[in-house]
Amino acid sequence: MVPMSRYIELHPVNPQARLVTKVVERLRSGALVAYPTDSGYALACAPGNKEGLDRIRAIRQLDDKHNFTFVCAGFAQVGPLAIVGNNAFRLIKRLTPGPWTFILKGTKEVPRMTLNAKKHTLGVRIPEHPVAQALVAEFGAPILSSTLIRPGRTAPEAHGWEIEEDLGHLIDVVIEGEVASIEPTTVVDFTSGTAEVVRRGAGDASLFE
């Protein structure tokens, strides 16, 4: 029999601390977790977890040009990860927390395997979602993440039970919780020095027009 994931229901506004702690313990021990955010579901593992990264790549069919995202509790956690210019600093501070992913150059503190192989870039995200915030707060550091968009689709997953049913054999923990939007994050690339919208999503891209 194929092993299935651990299915956990968390309160969408006040996630139960005891259950959050259990999920974070699994993350620290190498688990791959599907969790709700303000823009659909995402997959997460601990930074430095190469097997977790490889499993995300396999599920989403990604290549080494993909920018994995570090999900942060607040702006203070961005500095050690990414090189942030003045323009990016002001805009990220103004737009977060929210449904945005910002592409930035990684610092030397970041494991190379988590960076875009060619450009040495990464994504940074500060979500406005109680479950995502609770996980990062309990973990005590940013977690490595990628929006859960299945191959051939454009929208992220929106229901934990569907993920459990279809992908439970590939994921260790599935958290059931509400998502604020079924659109993916809006992705803004700052690596050229100016802001370039590379994916339109739940964040209002007209702010950059």
Alpha helices in the chain, H assignment, sequence order: 17-28, 50-60, 86-95, 130-139, 160-167
Angle at 150 between CA 195 and CA 159, to 5 degrees: 100
**In one letter, which amino acid is 8?**
I
Query: Above pLDDT 70, what percent of the chain?
Result: 98
**pLDDT band (50, 70, 90) for residue 5:** low
- pLDDT tens digit sequence for 142-184: 999 999 999 999 899 999 999 999 999 999 999 999 998 889 9
Alpha-carbon distances, residue 200 vs 56, 68, 104, 130 (angstroms): 22, 17, 17, 23
DSSP character string of 9-20: E--SSS--HHHH
Residue 111: per-residue pLDDT:
82
Rank 42-51, 112-121, 175-184 by mean pLDDT and report only the highest. 42-51
- What is the rounded distance in angstroms from the CA atom of residue 81 to the CA atom of residue 77? 7
- What is the rounded distance in angstroms from the CA atom of residue 147 to the CA atom of residue 167? 14
Nearest Cα neighbor of 30 from 17, 6, 5, 48 is: 48
Q: 53-65 burial, b if ≥16 CB within 10 A, otherwise e? A: bebbeebeebeee
**pTM for the whole structure:** 0.93
Q: Can you list the domains of the chain with their CATH numbers?
A: 6-201 (3.90.870.10)
Residue 115: per-residue pLDDT:
87
**pLDDT band (50, 70, 90) for residue 103:** very high
Residue 208: per-residue pLDDT:
85
Residue 2: per-residue pLDDT:
43
- Comparing 133 with 12, the larger pLDDT belongs to 133
